[in-house]
Structure 1
Amino acid sequence: SLQLTLSTSSNLSSEPSAANRSPGSRCGRGEYWSGRRCCQLCPAGHYVEEPCSSPHTRSKCEACDTGTYTGHANRRRSCLPCTTCREDQEMVSDCTPTQDRRCQCKTGEFYCDSESCLEGCHRCTRCPEGKVVLQTCNATADTLC
């Protein structure tokens, strides 16, 4: 009967079995399960060089190198690489240890009117001769003639 209960609970749950889940659930806010103990997360702009050696203490955190970042308190073993702006984009804000680089379509040359813009920016429309420009092309909207 005990075995049946265990197998039923693990089948119902999409997470790992209760035995694997419970130790980490003892960790407090801002902590993660590592080895056999709860360690404090590293702050944004840092990564875990080495997990903590005693429970509920800070992991050995290293600052992100130039060209990398972490945006939140984390348990990552390395920082994330900064985004590189494409040729049809310009930088809005540079990458910092705590924030990724932000890019937008080059003003006056390209635009993107959707959320993702992963496929690239569209070239701005040039109004034909004799037509008046009602709206100048910007990073998020095409020219209106």
Structure 2
Amino acid sequence: MSQEKNDFKELLKEKGLKLTTQRRTILELLEKHQGEHLTAEEIYELVKIECPEIGLATVYRTVQLLQELKLIERLNLDDGYSRYEIGKSENEHHHHHLICNQCSKVLEVEDDLLDPLEDEIEKSFNFKVTDHKVKFYGICSDCIKDNK
């Protein structure tokens, strides 16, 4: 994480902010829990193990800052919570999410199957697609197995 830590430190410096233990710990925690789509409250519960003095308000402010710096992304998985994950680089598309209607498990699809559709949209509408977000709803393999 040393290069990422230096990049993070530089981003903060540009904004006139310091790399605090709490900010570093929250970013490291999100990196360790990639693919888990944590809420701010879940981040707080995990980070206070390492930083017992941290408050929930600090977590909310830090998550907001990390989002503004485009280091993390906020997700809406239609469950009433804002969830967070490490952001993608500017030339990477978002991955897609599969959401189980029964157990609420969220799976990630890393393949970007929409590239041909994006090309067609760009040609047909003279519209430069910069990103897209896709969520699929259904029943996961575990729930299908449990229902047999």
TM interval, shorter chain, is under 0.3
Select the structure with the greater relative contact order (CA < 8 A; seq sep ≥ 6): 2
TM-score by length of 1: 0.27
TM-score (norm 2): 0.26
Larger Rg: 1
Structure with more of its chain in helix, by fraction: 2
